Chains A and B, each alone.
Chain A
Amino acid sequence: MAQATGIKEIIKPENLVYKKTKLMTDNVLSYCPGCGHGTAHRIIAEIIDEEGLQSESIGICPVGCSVFLYNYMDIDWQEAAHGRAPAVATAIKRLMPEKFVFTYQGDGDLAAIGTAETIHSCNRGENILIVFINNGIYGMTGGQMAPTTLPGMKSSTSPYGRDVSTMGNPLKMTDIIATLPGTCYVTRQSVHTPANVRKTKKAIRKAVQYQKLNKGTCFVEIVSNCPSNWKMSPVQSNKWLEENMLPYYPLGDMKTPADQPA
């Protein structure tokens, strides 16, 4: 009884300091506890809401864990075939240049099967935002090796660890993208600490604003975790991310509009 009273006290409107973002729906997320997808979704939903872009936004979801992203965010969506989101986005933006168009893709989708679409849409300088969630593993299919899996890292298809002599090295897609003249803003962020969440939100906001300038592709990598397939607790996974992922995938802006020739 005392406990129930306590909860009532806590949820009094004047005590609430945090609430569900308006553009997130009431549908139950399909993500595992501690997964970074929910945070990344929330950031995007907040920005679209704060920038007043709900009626201007068309998102393209990938194949992967976030395949049902269209159930979670209250904007128009297209579900793309595996890896093809940037091609889908290209046509949407070309046909409706006034709209805000973005893709949301994981590492298998963007950096393996969709490598060509990713590179060529950025090379053409399509005025879209690509959000790239890099957790170094295939989540939805059950923890197989991704193009971004770290050297020595175990997965269900690299059970003895990624042997770079036969399986290749992790692909630093964002570094490649930053070399393309068609891009406007290329950055790598993470959502593993509150400070990094704030930085990522800032980056997404910049990208949304840059799209209005029609200066080329914006590309935001978010280094994220996969507690289930990394076989760690959420807390352990964020620690592991910081100690192992970030040295290989250092955070920060790789290209800003200031780097472009006038």
Chain B
Amino acid sequence: MEKELKLMKGNEAVAEAAIRAGADGYFGYPITPQSEILEYLMEAKPYEKTGMVVLQAESELAAINMVYGGAGCGKKVMTTSSSPGISLKQEGISYIAGAELPCLIVNVVRGGPGLGTIQPAQSDYFQATKGGGHGDYHLIVLAPASVQEMADFVDLCFELAFKYRNPAMILSDGAIGQMMEKVWLSPQKERAKTVPEWATTGKTPTRERNVITSVDLDSNAQEVFNQKLVEKYNEIREKEVRYEEFQCEDAEYLFVAYGTSARVCQKSVHLAREQGIRAGLLRPITLFPFPTKRINKLADKVKMMLSVEMSAGQMVEDVLLSVNGKVPVYHFGRMGGIIPAPDEVVESLKSKITGG
């Protein structure tokens, strides 16, 4: 089976990729700018072709708890939303992380806080990478910079989620969700015929009962469990870091940017080099785990780093921790749904070079 080339919105690509990845269930609630995902699935009727369940829930709370239920059965299940809706899902996400369930959550980020705007932003970085809900936990977070990656990361997130029994998130934004690009779609995968041994599928005489839970009132036992999670996150940090470098070989100044900002910064690298400034770009693809070691290494050869984000400065904290004082680190950001222009990023870099 060959890949198929289509022109699609990022949101549509997520929906189509989910069907083709052999997802078992999608549970969602409408919110701009990602409603196309549920609309696409309802129109595509995958339940008639692959048997994939598609359900419009009564709320984001219900949707994420449906994901909990489906994931507890060992099924490949997912939900999608945008910032205010993802905030509503945080309780459920914490329970999913606490019960060590695999699932995919897509956040097509819009500007906040509160109801904010429906335009693209990257202001949910903290929420996505530092936990989001209550308790000590992490999601595996992937940040697509194209419609192609919106599609590709669906399958990758499911793979990582099941590998580590951990929820995975695609942290996208309204620009990538709404824009149309060509996308190579993978051939249809069959839905899994078997589920992991921990799944609740009905207790048979050959095994103990399976229980999906996140509660343990014994503090000692709870700490042992917390430690187990820490070890899992450390393993993920060790093995699953993904990033892309653009003209870093001879760079003196490094942009660090993900998603839409990274696309802007590619152009900024060209513009800077036209002006004789040797700029480069490191694009984290995984935001958790963060490419800490690589950024620390690059700090040995560049003079300065500029974290470019559509936020007030969130990822810059991870860049600072990675650099650990070796070189100055600055932030440049636009907010409120505004995407920075490549030349204003260059102007910001130039002002830091001259003025610090």
Q: Chain A interface (Cβ within 8 Å of chain B)?
A: 54-58, 60, 67-68, 70, 74-81, 84, 87-92, 94-96, 99, 116-117, 120
Q: In the complex the two chains form, what is the Cα distance from A262 to B112 in whole Å?
A: 50
Q: Which residue of B lies closest to A81 (CB)?
A: B95
The 8 A-B pairs at the shortest CB distance, nearest first, are namely A88-B69, A91-B69, A79-B213, A84-B65, A87-B65, A91-B66, A120-B58, A76-B200
Q: Interface segment, B72-80, B113-121, B344-352? A: B72-80
Q: In the complex the two chains form, what is the Cα distance from A77 to B27 in whole Å?
A: 21
Task: Please determine whether B202 and A91 come into contact, CB atoms closer than 8 angstroms.
Answer: no
Task: Please determine whether B204 and A55 come into contact, CB atoms closer than 8 angstroms.
Answer: yes
Q: Which residue of A lies closest to B61 (CB)?
A: A84
Task: Judge if B203 is at the interface, Cβ distance under 8 Å.
Answer: yes
Task: Please determine whether A116 and B72 come into contact, CB atoms closer than 8 angstroms.
Answer: no
Task: Please determine whether B69 and A60 come into contact, CB atoms closer than 8 angstroms.
Answer: yes
Q: Which of B55, B72, B75, B91 contacts A88 (CB 8 A)?
A: B72
Q: Which residues of B contact A81 (CB under 8 A)?
A: 65, 68, 91-92, 95
A92 and B73 in contact, given A76-B200, A78-B200, A81-B91 (Cβ under 8 angstroms): yes
Task: Please determine whether B57 and A87 come into contact, CB atoms closer than 8 angstroms.
Answer: yes
Q: Which residues of A contact B61 (CB under 8 A)?
A: 84, 87, 116-117
Task: Please determine whether A94 and B55 come into contact, CB atoms closer than 8 angstroms.
Answer: yes
Task: Please determine whether B213 and A70 come into contact, CB atoms closer than 8 angstroms.
Answer: yes
A99 and B202 in contact, given A117-B58, A117-B62 (Cβ under 8 angstroms): yes
Q: Which residues of B contact A84 (CB under 8 A)?
A: 61-62, 65, 68, 92
Q: Mark B1-38, 1 if CB is under 8 A from A, else 0.
A: 00000000000000000000000110100000000000
Q: Which residue of B lies closest to A80 (CB)?
A: B65
Task: Please determine whether A79 and B65 come into contact, CB atoms closer than 8 angstroms.
Answer: no
Task: Please determine whether B70 and A92 come into contact, CB atoms closer than 8 angstroms.
Answer: yes
Chain A min CB distance to B103 (Å): 11
Chain B min CB distance to A56 (Å): 5
Q: In the complex the two chains form, what is the Cα distance from A76 to B203 in whole Å?
A: 5
Task: Please determine whether B211 and A90 come into contact, CB atoms closer than 8 angstroms.
Answer: no
Residue from A54, A60, A92 whose CB has the most chain B CB atoms within 10 Å:
A92
Q: In the complex the two chains form, what is the Cα distance from A57 to B73 in whole Å?
A: 12
Q: In the complex the two chains form, what is the Cα distance from A205 to B228 in whole Å?
A: 42
Q: Which residues of B contact A95 (CB under 8 A)?
A: 24-25, 53, 69-70, 73, 75, 77
Task: Please determine whether B209 and A76 come into contact, CB atoms closer than 8 angstroms.
Answer: yes
Q: Which residue of B lies closest to A100 (CB)?
A: B202
Q: Which residue of A lies closest to B70 (CB)?
A: A91
Q: Which residues of B contact A92 (CB under 8 A)?
A: 69-70, 72-73, 200
Task: Please determine whether A76 and B66 come into contact, CB atoms closer than 8 angstroms.
Answer: no
Q: Which residues of A contact B95 (CB under 8 A)?
A: 81
Q: Which residues of B contact A80 (CB under 8 A)?
A: 65, 68-69
Q: In the complex the two chains form, what is the Cα distance from A95 to B200 in whole Å?
A: 12
Chain B min CB distance to A29 (Å): 15
Q: Which residues of A contact B210 (CB under 8 A)?
A: 76-77
Q: Which of B24, B73, B203, B213 contacts A54 (CB 8 A)?
A: B203
Chain B min CB distance to A125 (Å): 13
Q: In the complex the two chains form, what is the Cα distance from A80 to B71 in whole Å?
A: 12
Q: Which residues of A contact B75 (CB under 8 A)?
A: 95
Q: Which residue of A lies closest to B53 (CB)?
A: A94
Q: In the complex the two chains form, what is the Cα distance from A247 to B243 in whole Å?
A: 67
A91 and B27 in contact, given A78-B69, A99-B201, A117-B65 (Cβ under 8 angstroms): yes
Task: Judge if B59 is at the interface, Cβ distance under 8 Å.
Answer: yes
Chain B min CB distance to A249 (Å): 26
A87 and B202 in contact, given A81-B92, A95-B24 (Cβ under 8 angstroms): no
Task: Please determine whether A77 and B69 come into contact, CB atoms closer than 8 angstroms.
Answer: no
Q: In the complex the two chains form, what is the Cα distance from A70 to B203 in whole Å?
A: 12
Residue from A74, A90, A120 whose CB has the most chain B CB atoms within 10 Å:
A90
Q: Which residue of A lies closest to B94 (CB)?
A: A81
Q: Which of A58, A79, A99 contacts B215 (CB 8 A)?
A: A79
Task: Judge if B212 is at the interface, Cβ distance under 8 Å.
Answer: yes
Q: Which residues of A contact B320 (CB under 8 A)?
A: none
Task: Judge if B324 is at the interface, Cβ distance under 8 Å.
Answer: no
Task: Please determine whether B58 and A116 come into contact, CB atoms closer than 8 angstroms.
Answer: yes
Q: In the complex the two chains form, what is the Cα distance from A80 to B62 in whole Å?
A: 11
Q: Which of B27, B63, B68 contacts A78 (CB 8 A)?
A: B68
Q: In the complex the two chains form, what is the Cα distance from A95 to B77 in whole Å?
A: 10
Task: Please determine whether B202 and A78 come into contact, CB atoms closer than 8 angstroms.
Answer: no
Task: Please determine whether B68 and A75 come into contact, CB atoms closer than 8 angstroms.
Answer: no
A87 and B209 in contact, given A57-B202, A78-B200 (Cβ under 8 angstroms): no
Q: In the complex the two chains form, what is the Cα distance from A54 to B207 in whole Å?
A: 12
Q: Which residue of A lies closest to B67 (CB)?
A: A91
Chain A min CB distance to B105 (Å): 14
Residue from A70, A81, A116 whose CB has the most chain B CB atoms within 10 Å:
A81
Task: Please determine whether B203 and A79 come into contact, CB atoms closer than 8 angstroms.
Answer: no
Task: Judge if B205 is at the interface, Cβ distance under 8 Å.
Answer: yes
Task: Please determine whether A75 and B209 come into contact, CB atoms closer than 8 angstroms.
Answer: yes
Q: In the complex the two chains form, what is the Cα distance from A88 to B213 in whole Å?
A: 12
Chain B min CB distance to A59 (Å): 9
Q: In the complex the two chains form, what is the Cα distance from A83 to B202 in whole Å?
A: 23
A88 and B66 in contact, given A95-B73, A120-B58 (Cβ under 8 angstroms): yes
The 21 sampled A-B contact pairs (Cβ below 8 Å) are A60-B69, A76-B202, A76-B210, A77-B211, A78-B68, A78-B69, A78-B213, A81-B91, A87-B62, A87-B63, A87-B66, A90-B55, A91-B53, A92-B69, A92-B72, A92-B73, A94-B70, A95-B77, A116-B61, A117-B62, A117-B65
Q: Which residues of A contact B202 (CB under 8 A)?
A: 54-58, 75-76, 99
Q: In the complex the two chains form, what is the Cα distance from A70 to B99 in whole Å?
A: 14
